[in-house]
């Protein structure tokens, strides 16, 4: 397990002085990148070998959202590899080692020259040293879509949404989707399925579907093909 300690910053919290799913994902993403860097298979290694890790799916369960000023420990570990898929757990704990949030994530190892999935080489799998998967109820990777949606106004991808791979960072889709969460919808669970990457200038149609316990936000292209599907649950 790889971990780092932090303190929740004012710049990371919402109006209620708590982290949201977007900020939690940023912590998780930083933790995974620090992990990869420290074991020698980080950004420079990937660039040299024309590879990248592409996010495929998130599942995050929150017991309590971390609050401003709180000391936290963020942890991650790889628990499986399968051809070109990598599987990672994440966890945030408070100062008393209580689990505040836990996550499962699915990643695809990509060949950047041919823009296709690549078999994960032994150097990478051996560097991560697999551990046991976290004991949680694992949801399916794919999210089923209903037939009816309400569409919100179209918006365009901005430079601030991009990461070092020059496409929209996986956390940015969550930030976009959070604009459509009703104030009285207090989600404690989130799933995200990433279907294709948006780049600078792409136009996105937000499509919203809400039931009693679930809010679905689909960020689609102009042909209604999803970039990302985000599901929030109470």
Full set of structural domains in the chain with CATH:
2-128 (3.10.129.10), 150-233 (3.10.129.10)
158's CB contacts (< 8 A; 6+ apart) are: 200
Write out pLDDT tens, residues 54-103: 999 999 999 999 999 999 999 999 999 999 999 999 999 999 999 999 99
Q: What pLDDT is attached to residue 212?
A: 85
pTM, to two decimals: 0.94
Distance CA 107, CA 53 (A): 6
Contact 69, 56 (CB under 8 A): no
Closest to 103 in 3D by CA, of 180, 42, 188, 176? 188
In this model, does residue 24 exceed pLDDT 90? yes
Average pLDDT, stretch 128-144?
Answer: 96
């Amino acid at each position: 397990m790889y971990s780092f300690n932090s303190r929740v910053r004012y710049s990371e919290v919402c109006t209620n002085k708590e982290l949201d799913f977007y900020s939690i994902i940023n912590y998780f993403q930083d933790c995974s990148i620090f992990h990869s860097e420290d074991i020698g298979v980080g950004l420079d290694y990937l660039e040299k070998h024309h590879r990248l890790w592409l996010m495929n799916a998130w599942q995050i369960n929150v017991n309590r959202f971390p609050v401003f000023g709180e000391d936290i420990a963020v942890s991650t570990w790889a628990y499986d590899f399968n051809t070109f898929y990598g599987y990672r757990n994440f966890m945030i704990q408070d100062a008393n080692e209580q689990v505040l949030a836990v996550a499962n994530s699915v990643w695809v190892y990509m060949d950047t020259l041919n823009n296709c999935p690549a078999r994960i080489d032994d150097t990478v799998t051996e560097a991560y040293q697999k551990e046991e998967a976290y004991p949680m109820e694992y949801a399916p990777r794919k999210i089923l879509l209903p037939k009816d949606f309400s569409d919100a106004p179209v918006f365009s991808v901005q430079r601030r949404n991009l990461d070092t791979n020059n496409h929209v960072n996986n956390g940015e889709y969550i930030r976009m989707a959070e604009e459509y969460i009703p104030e009285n919808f207090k989600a404690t669970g989130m799933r995200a399925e990433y279907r294709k990457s948006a780049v600078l200038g792409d136009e996105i149609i937000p499509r919203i579907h809400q039931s009693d316990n679930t809010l679905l936000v689909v960020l689609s292209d102009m042909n209604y093909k999803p970039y990302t599907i985000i599901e929030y649950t109470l």
